[in-house]
Structure 1
Amino acid sequence: MILSRRGPGRLLCLSALTGLILPMAALRADPAGFPLEIANCGHPLQVAAPPARAVSLGQGTTEILLSLGVTDRIAGTAIWLDPLPAPLAEAGAALPRLADNSPGFETVLAVRPDFVAAQWINDIGPGESRVGSWDQFADFGIPAYVSPAECAKSAFNAGSGDGARSQAWDMALLEQEIAELAAIFDRPEAGAALIAANRARIEAVTAGAEALRGRDVSVLYWFSSPRIEGEAYVAGRLGAPGWISQVTGLRNVIDSQEEWPLVGWETIAALDPDVIVLGRMERRSLPGDDVAAKRAFLERDPVASRLSAVREGRLIEMPAQSMNPTLRAVDGVEVLAAGLRDLGLAP
């Protein structure tokens, strides 16, 4: 990431951020602090002034903006999995929702945005995208930003979506996104506070990680399925669940660079994870979205029902949003740690 605030060349030290974030930002500023330039997915992004009418495409992006306290500057949102978590529910209660999934380009333009931020490279990117390309938004003078979590995927320029990662997702990528959005909205102190709070929460729940690692406790994350009786979208080792496993001391049984590979239950049965984490969401675009349907399948399927995690009731429900590379992955660490305690697997 390269951050610069164009001006007469005078260096600014943002002490609120530099003490918390790994050395990833060099800032230059004029007295007003803008225009701001960011290298985003290798694409030069210029922001003339803090956005007043932003559109956020992806619940993860929306939740970061709400956490930074810029609710009144969000003109539209899209791509939702679940209700907002309790700490953000009041602030986001009246957010304009353009679509539950990916909106059309004209729908976004209709709210007259001066900035668009996307959680997924499939929605905004260098080429053909579900919503619009960087060039399409640039034609209307609208800066378009993509989460750094997407920039870390293999061949992101081709719109990799949920594809393979060339870099494991971790808190450094989340902190980069928070810091960049905080800079764009001129809220550096709020960004620093959010980063510090996340670090404290993670530290508070990972005390038993070494003991779990020593016992080689394994886990499978089941997000959803295109057919409930068929293959399952399960977490590979480099996405957010891989990071959650690492910090809690578990071993993900799926050793794939794909973020959400489709895997058959015969393969899963051979791996026989100690714990299965079930994605819970309100979205109903796939048959496997319903956590009750997941549980019913595990109980009746002749292969899945033989898994030791199923037979011994070692199933933990987790909000699906916490399995995505977003702010809610921190919640995922807390949910998993609490579930492991309830199962008697962690102190």
Structure 2
Amino acid sequence: MRFVCVNSAMPARRLMPLLGLFLLSIVPFSSAAEAEEHTAYPLTLKNCGHTLTFTSAPKRAVTLGQASTELLLSLGLADRMVGTGIWFGPVQPTLKADNDKIPRLADNAPSFEAVASTVPDLVAAQYTYHVGPNGEVATFEQLASLGIPAYVAPSDCEGKEVTATSNADGSRTKPFTLGLITQEIQELARIFDVQSRGEVLVHQLERRLERAVAGARQHRRSPQSVAYWFSSSRLEGDPWVAGQQGVPAYISQVLGLDNIIQSNDEWPSVSWEHIAAKDPDLIVITRMDRRLYPADDVEKKLAFLRSDPVTRQLKAVRNNQIIIVDAQSLNPSMRVLDGIEAISKALATSHTEPSR
């Protein structure tokens, strides 16, 4: 497969309608779905400031980022995957059998050499942090020099920028929408010539969002303030909490919650004293298998919240209004619906009276 990778200005794109995400089970593709309209090659599309041209469907893909891995697996492409890397936790149970057949290059970021050794004809990445101008794994140019095109999730580059004034997760110039995930599904389905599978997946996700929104409306209460704590470089240091335009902001919008952090940075570092001054009704924290930082461990998060002189006085901690969700459900991925459903369920079953 031959491709051309050229830098170009990213055109303005109209965000697609809000569509929701993740499948708890993968429905077998019907014979009708298999009778899909085939991709006309050469296929050219713009992605994260680059123009990619494919002359045929990729046969050897490497995915960097759990969301990218689960997306290709959900499209039934396990037989075309030759390596994965960058994991937060276990793969979805329904995808485990297929995922077990794919070599894991690293739990975190694999080296450029490890990726190149698989001789991929496509690298699909979840974050520009790993494949981008200063990519931890590779730059676009490094991969292109070996004839390898790189596709990065639109959610990490459209309506978002990484600058010297923002943290490594970047700053959003436009709010995240689930339409960005749908765009990724449809574009990868076209690249791999499985367009009908992509449409089946999108349709299933649309239905799941409708159910989640309807359920959230039934449980919606008076406005409640919330802070989302992902992790921290030091438990005693400033936590990385969700800003006002990322995935948690979308979840808050759906559930009628008020995120206390007013920052365009996706995961800004904010002091506990600032959070205490806002004193949220709820704190959402993440569970993950990753152990890059002390606060990746959910039990350490809980112990800190209940013992630190500042955090133990927070209303959410005193009232035990701490909600635990999977880390992937707060990342741009097909698991965003998991986050909506988990938080909605916790709110529906909570009977704790507010502190006076």
Q: What TM-score results when the alignment is normalised by the length of structure 1? A: 0.86
Tell me, what secondary structure is at the counterpart of 1:251?
strand
Tell me, what secondary structure is at the counterpart of 2:99?
coil
Kept in 1, the 8 Å contact 2:122–2:149? The answer is yes
Matched, 1:168 2:168: no
Any stretches of 5+ residues in structure 1 without a counterpart? 1-20, 23-29
Kept in 1, the 8 Å contact 2:167–2:268? The answer is no
Look up the equivalent residue of 1:335 and give its one-letter code. A
CA deviation after TM superposition for structure 1 residue 208, in Å: 5.5
Q: What's 1:207 paired with? A: 214
After TM superposition, list the pairs within 5 Å mapping 1:183-222 onto structure 2: 183-207=190-214, 209=216, 215-222=222-229
Partners of 1:266 and 1:275 in 2: how far apart?
16
Tell me, what secondary structure is at the counterpart of 1:285?
coil
Look up the equivalent residue of 1:61 and give its one-letter code. S
CA deviation after TM superposition for structure 1 residue 153, in Å: 4.7
Q: What's 1:278 paired with? A: 285
Kept in 1, the 8 Å contact 2:161–2:170? The answer is no
Could you report, residue by residue, the CA deviation over 1:286-334 in whole angstroms, capped at 9, with x for unpaired residues?
A: 0100110011111111111111111111111100111111111121111
Tell me, what secondary structure is at the counterpart of 1:229?
coil
Partners of 1:132 and 1:163 in 2: how far apart?
18
CA deviation after TM superposition for structure 1 residue 246, in Å: 1.0
Give the number of equivalent residue pairs: 317
Aligned-residue identity in percent: 46
Q: What's 1:144 paired with? A: 150
> Closer, same or farther in 2 for the Cα pair 1:284/1:42, shift >3 Å?
same
Q: What's 1:27 paired with? A: none
CA deviation after TM superposition for structure 1 residue 266, in Å: 0.9
Q: What's 1:111 paired with? A: 118
CA deviation after TM superposition for structure 1 residue 184, in Å: 0.8
Higher-RCO chain (CA-CA 8 Å, sequence separation at least 6)? 2
Alignment RMSD: 2.1
CA deviation after TM superposition for structure 1 residue 106, in Å: 1.4
Partners of 1:247 and 1:219 in 2: how far apart?
13
Kept in 1, the 8 Å contact 2:39–2:193? The answer is no
CA deviation after TM superposition for structure 1 residue 180, in Å: 0.6
Any stretches of 5+ residues in structure 2 without a counterpart? 1-15, 18-36
After TM superposition, list the pairs within 5 Å mapping 1:86-101 onto structure 2: 86-101=93-108
Q: What's 2:259 paired with? A: 252
> Closer, same or farther in 2 for the Cα pair 1:188/1:152, shift >3 Å?
same
Kept in 2, the 8 Å contact 1:274–1:309? The answer is yes
Tell me, what secondary structure is at the counterpart of 1:124?
coil
CA deviation after TM superposition for structure 1 residue 36, in Å: 1.0
Look up the equivalent residue of 2:148 and give its one-letter code. I
Partners of 1:225 and 1:233 in 2: how far apart?
6
Matched, 1:128 2:124: no
Kept in 2, the 8 Å contact 1:212–1:250? The answer is no
> Closer, same or farther in 2 for the Cα pair 1:191/1:247, shift >3 Å?
same
| Runs of 4 or more consecutive aligned structure 1 residues displaced over 6 Å after TM superposition | 157-160, 211-214
Tell me, what secondary structure is at the counterpart of 2:250?
helix
Partners of 1:284 and 1:147 in 2: how far apart?
24
After TM superposition, list the pairs within 5 Å mapping 1:154-165 onto structure 2: 154-156=160-162, 161-165=168-172
Kept in 1, the 8 Å contact 2:78–2:98? The answer is yes
Could you report, residue by residue, the CA deviation over 1:173-229 in whole angstroms, capped at 9, with x for unpaired residues?
A: 111111111111111111111112122112212236457777111111110111111
Partners of 2:168 and 2:54 in 1: how far apart?
25
Partners of 2:176 and 2:114 in 1: how far apart?
31
Tell me, what secondary structure is at the counterpart of 1:169?
coil
Kept in 1, the 8 Å contact 2:167–2:267? The answer is no
Partners of 1:148 and 1:337 in 2: how far apart?
27
Partners of 1:81 and 1:180 in 2: how far apart?
24
Could you report, residue by residue, the CA deviation over 1:25-58 in whole angstroms, capped at 9, with x for unpaired residues?
A: xxxxx98721211100121011221111000011
CA deviation after TM superposition for structure 1 residue 90, in Å: 2.2
Aligned partner of 1:177 among 184, 188, 193:
184
Q: What TM-score results when the alignment is normalised by the length of structure 2? A: 0.84
Deviates more, 1:204-213 or 1:166-175: 204-213
Deviates more, 1:107-116 or 1:200-209: 200-209
After TM superposition, list the pairs within 5 Å mapping 1:1-347 onto structure 2: 33-125=40-132, 127-156=133-162, 161-207=168-214, 209=216, 215-344=222-351
Kept in 2, the 8 Å contact 1:153–1:163? The answer is no
Tell me, what secondary structure is at the counterpart of 1:167?
coil
Q: What's 2:26 paired with? A: none
